[in-house]
Structures are given as structure tokens and as C-alpha cells.
């Protein structure tokens, strides 16, 4: 069950409308409720809530429960987003 990102949903942290996602992994998976994403504007870690693409912030407990490899990938993605923003 893939989500429909065409309407866009606001980031619960910064409010930017998010209407696209780039899957990480091979083969590239579709985006589904429960998946983790990172806001391209504020780099906060978010969880996809439903098929409309609504989002919520990841809790500290959820972040602690992530596998080390996943947490490292998220940290790298956040670093890239934050560094890109500084150049703009
Ligand atoms: Zn954001």
C-alpha cells in the first residue's frame, strides 16, 4: 500500500509541504505508512502516518530502538541536508 504524496503534507517541525520522497535502498522501495523519512528542509526525522502522506515526528524511544546502521544512515542524511542549507 503506497502513499499518495501528490497533495503534500506539512512537516510537523518546520511546516514545509513535503510532496516528494527519495527512497533509500536497493531495490528502491515504495513509501508506506510506518516508514521513516527525513524532512528535506529542517532534517528532522519523521514517520509516515497514513496513505495521505501525513507525518509525525519520530519519538526519542523510536530513535533509540533503530538499528545502528539505520541510525547512521539517518545521521548522514541529516548532515547532508543541514550542510546544503548552509550554502544556500
Ligand atoms: Zn521540516
Look at strands 45-48 and 55-57 and give their pairing.
antiparallel
Surrounding ion ligand 1 within 5 Å at CB are 11, 13-14, 39, 41-42
What pLDDT shows up at residue 35?
A: 87
| Number of other residues whose CB lies within 10 A of the CB of residue 46 | 21
Q: 14, 59 in Cβ contact below 8 A?
A: no
| Whole-number Å distance between alpha carbons of 28 and 72 | 19
pTM of the model: 0.81
What is the CA(88)–ligand 1 centre distance, in A? 16
Residue range 16-54, pLDDT digits in tens: 998 877 766 666 667 788 888 899 999 999 998 988 889
What is the CA(11)–ligand 1 centre distance, in A? 5
What is the CA(2)–ligand 1 centre distance, in A? 21
Which of 19, 66, 57 lies closest to 40, judged by CA?
19
Q: Where do the domains of the chain lie?
A: 9-87
Amino acid at each position: 500500500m503506497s502513499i499518495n504524496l501528490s497533495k503534500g503534507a506539512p512537516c510537523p517541525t518546520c511546516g514545509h509541504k513535503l510532496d516528494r520522497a527519495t527512497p533509500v535502498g536497493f531495490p528502491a522501495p515504495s513509501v508506506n505508512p510506518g516508514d521513516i523519512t527525513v524532512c528535506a528542509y529542517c532534517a528532522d526525522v519523521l514517520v509516515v502516518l497514513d496513505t495521505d502522506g501525513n507525518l509525525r515526528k519520530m519519538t526519542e524511544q523510536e530513535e533509540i530502538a533503530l538499528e545502528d546502521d539505520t541510525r547512521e544512515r539517518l545521521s548522514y542524511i541529516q548532515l547532508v541536508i543541514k550542510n546544503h542549507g548552509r550554502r544556500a
